[in-house]
Amino acid sequence: MKVRERSAWQPAGPKAEAYGLSRADLALIVGPTGGGKTTETVRRILRAAQWQDPSPRDGWRKCRIAVICTTYRRLWDQFTPSYFKEIDREWGMKGPGGGSGFTGAKGDPWDHRFTLTCPDGVPAYVEVMGRAVGDQDLEEFFRGLEVTAFILPELDTHATVDILAGCQNRVGRYPEPDDRPELAPGRPPAYAGVWADSNAPVIGSWFHKRFYISREEGDDVYIQPSGLSPQAENLQNLRKIDPNYYQRLAARMKQKWAIKRFVENKPGFTRHGEPVHEYFDSDRMVVQRAIKPEPGLQLVIACDCGNTLNPAASFQQRVGQQIRVLAEVLPPMDLVQFAAAIKRERETTFADIAEVVIVADPAARARSAMNAQITFAQLLSHYTGIEVLLAPSNDPNVRHTALSNVFQRNVLGGEPGFLVGTNCPGTIEALAGGWRFKRTGDKVSPTAEKNIHSHIGEATEYGPLAMEGLGLGGGFIHQDGPGGHSEDHRPILQE
């Protein structure tokens, strides 16, 4: 079979095309249902064959690719039909590897060996192996596998991040050294790597943490637009099914959690809850690095604290109309440990900031269990050496609205009104839906759930609430230097 004899491939869209052409060690596409992800995943098989060097022994390019699914049912029902749409089951011909053609029965492993002629006239021998992990130990599963590359369809369905380590440890072991030419100085070796596709993940899953909160350098991740966006991909095919494919799909799904993940292509929870902050957009608002502080601007350390072992702090600056989260302190810890963590950040990361203030949950007015004559706020100021002010309100609706207003605005240049760096994973996970309104059946609680995410979530809200209020004249932290505080919000230590 000659590659050039195949009908011209039309990519589903810019994201799908870039994913299909990526030669990164790890390439991933995340998209809505029907976005053309699996099609591009399969097409990469033929590209990977063309990205190999001809063997000095016989002039053939050689490539072995393993497709790894969680179960054989998923392999046969969800991946294999798409595979056959792009790669004919009957492709065969005798190649240098011996046998050829497709072998395997439904529910079992399958293998496909075939040859093709690349556009430059060089023949290629390709092996594709369909396998499932099932309940096997990963170390045993990968033992002895020698492949050029791995494919992980529906990557988010795998149980742990360990699947990536197992794959990356075994790629590039085929073809044999004798089938590889000597590389000239500066010339990279032939392609070897892992590629995968997925729907948007469940918040808090290993996939969400690995690719949305703590993405590693070198990850080549392509996130397709929402199916409801004018930039949605694969519409040229979906419109043949239904001119309003995604609108109809959303109408059939009805439930917000399903629409968010499978249509809008946003991380979300399953049916168990709804995020407190629906306007938080991790694609636009998460910066893939720590955000550097602005030395000339005030640093606000917004805290959720009180008579609890779960205090949290959010280090924020207001740059123009944009709120930036620069660092975080997460529970659990007691008040002394919490104050020490804040002080450490203040003296290291933020040593160049002249004006610093702590804004505390009004619950910090409560008397300390350590000393009934001293409030938590006073202790916090004593141990940190930083002025402590009480936030104007701890009413949940007021707090939620203050931060929600920031999420919904854009600033000069089209940037969002809120940014957070990847050095703040607790904040990202909480705002993305870890902090939620719990769902029971068809009912959603009107009160945000108290969980491991709620403390940093509430702390993050106190920053905008203090700095700019609800748009009714601004918050109570002034930008004109220390000492500019009115009597109704004087430092707590002066009470």
Q: What is the pLDDT of residue 10?
A: 87
Mean pLDDT along residues 464-472: 73
Q: What is the pLDDT of residue 342?
A: 97
DSSP 403-466: HHHHHT-B-TTS-BSEEEETT-HHHHHIIIIISEEEEETTEEEEEE--STTHHHHHHHHHHHHH
Helix, strand or coil, per DSSP, at residue 168: helix
Judged against a pLDDT cut of 60, whether residue 97 lies above it is answered with: no
Q: Per-residue confidence at 258, pLDDT binned at 50, 70, 90? A: confident
- On whether the CB atoms of residues 150 and 65 are closer than 8 A, the answer is yes
For the stretch 283-313, pLDDT in tens is 889 998 899 999 999 999 999 986 567 899 9
- Domain spans of the chain, in order of start: 3-223, 286-494
Q: What token pair was written down for 467?
A: 């700095």
Mean pLDDT along residues 133-143: 92
| Residues of the chain above pLDDT 90, percent | 67
Mean pLDDT along residues 277-281: 89
Residue 136 burial (10 A CB sphere; 0-12, 13-18, 19+): exposed
Residue 46: partners with Cβ closer than 8 Å, 6 or more residues away: 3, 87, 116, 126
For the stretch 190-243, pLDDT in tens is 999 999 999 999 887 899 989 988 888 889 999 999 999 999 999 999 999 999
Q: What is the pLDDT of residue 307?
A: 55
286-494: CATH class: alpha beta
CATH of domain 3-223: 3.40.50.300
Q: What is the pLDDT of residue 371?
A: 57
Q: What is the pLDDT of residue 364?
A: 84
Judged against a pLDDT cut of 80, whether residue 77 lies above it is answered with: yes
Say how far apart CA 306 and CA 308 lie, in whole Å.
Answer: 5
Q: What is the pLDDT of residue 368?
A: 60
Say how far apart CA 380 and CA 371 lie, in whole Å.
Answer: 13
Q: What is the pLDDT of residue 367?
A: 64
Q: What is the pLDDT of residue 96?
A: 52
Judged against a pLDDT cut of 70, whether residue 58 lies above it is answered with: yes
Judged against a pLDDT cut of 60, whether residue 263 lies above it is answered with: yes
Q: Per-residue confidence at 473, pLDDT binned at 50, 70, 90? A: very low
Judged against a pLDDT cut of 70, whether residue 490 lies above it is answered with: no
- On whether the CB atoms of residues 40 and 9 are closer than 8 A, the answer is no
Judged against a pLDDT cut of 70, whether residue 100 lies above it is answered with: no
Q: What is the pLDDT of residue 305?
A: 84
Q: Per-residue confidence at 145, pLDDT binned at 50, 70, 90? A: very high
Q: What is the pLDDT of residue 486?
A: 39
DSSP 279-327: T--HHHHEESSPPPP-TTS-EEEEEE-SSSS--EEEEEEEETTEEEEEE
pTM above 0.75, yes or no: no
Q: What is the pLDDT of residue 183?
A: 85
* Reduced 3-state DSSP string for 330-386: CCCCCHHHHHHHHHHHHHCCCCCCCCEEEEECHHHHCECCCCCCCEHHHHHHHHHCC
For the stretch 357-410, pLDDT in tens is 999 988 888 766 555 667 888 889 999 999 999 988 889 999 999 999 999 999
Lookup result for tokens 């004798």: 178
CB atoms within 10 A of CB 349: 17
Helix, strand or coil, per DSSP, at residue 387: coil
For the stretch 313-367, pLDDT in tens is 999 999 999 999 999 999 999 889 999 999 999 999 999 999 999 999 888 887 6
Mean pLDDT along residues 251-279: 83
| Residues of the chain above pLDDT 70, percent | 88
